[in-house]
Chain A
Amino acid sequence: DVKVTQSSRYLVKRTGEKVFLECVQDMDHENMFWYRQDPGLGLRLIYFSYDVKMKEKGDIPEGYSVSREKKERFSLILESASTNQTSMYLCASSLWDEKLFFGSGTQLSVL
């Protein structure tokens, strides 16, 4: 079974802090994605990556950056956390198509 592991289930940070969300997959998948999920807005794509050191902006990249130094690891960075970044963050991976496998999510609260 594919396993996508997100480092934290719950995270509380202060406004202005730099926040790192880590995601690791164990199935040698090419593609990795970061989504956020908010009530009434659904899942929205922040960033994605098709290969090591490669990244592309999704629909809502503002205030975020990403890093993919190794194939199995994809990190989401909030450079200066703000209260409107309070959300559920979901990492996903796929082999070469759009069939996504999701991690268990990180509920981030920015106070």
Chain B
Amino acid sequence: QKEVEQNSGPLSVPEGAIASLNCTYSDRGSQSFFWYRQYSGKSPELIMSIYSNGDKEDGRFTAQLNKASQYVSLLIRDSQPSDSATYLCAVNTGGGNKLTFGTGTQLKVEL
């Protein structure tokens, strides 16, 4: 079973702080990694993709990938209450376009 692991949280951070969300995966051959955000009662939406080792920045979001350690993370700078959601890590584990999702980390940004 190819797995994607996330801490379920909740992760609580104060407004304006950096939120750090982590994900590990078991399939060493995985090449594509994604972060989806899911608000309560809504469907997931893609916020970041990363394919190469290192950092990828998009606005307040930075995705980090370390294939040697089989680790992918998402940093959210200047966290806002509107960032409060569940963040799902997804990894292409079987080739083709199939994604395996982690169970998600709930983030709460407090005023």
Contact = CB atoms under 8 A, between A and B. Distances in A.
Interface of A: 31, 35, 40-45, 48, 50, 58-59, 90, 94, 96-105
Interface of B: 8, 32, 34, 36, 42-46, 49, 88, 90, 92, 96-104
Given A42-B88, A102-B43, A105-B43, A97 B103 contact: no
Contact of B97 (A35, A43, A50): A50
B34 A98 contact: yes
Q: Is the interface of A mostly helix, strand, loop or mixed?
A: loop
Contacts of B103: 40-42
Contacts of A102: 43-45
18 contacts: A31-B97, A40-B103, A41-B103, A42-B101, A43-B101, A48-B97, A50-B96, A50-B97, A58-B98, A90-B43, A98-B32, A98-B34, A98-B90, A98-B92, A100-B36, A100-B46, A102-B45, A104-B43
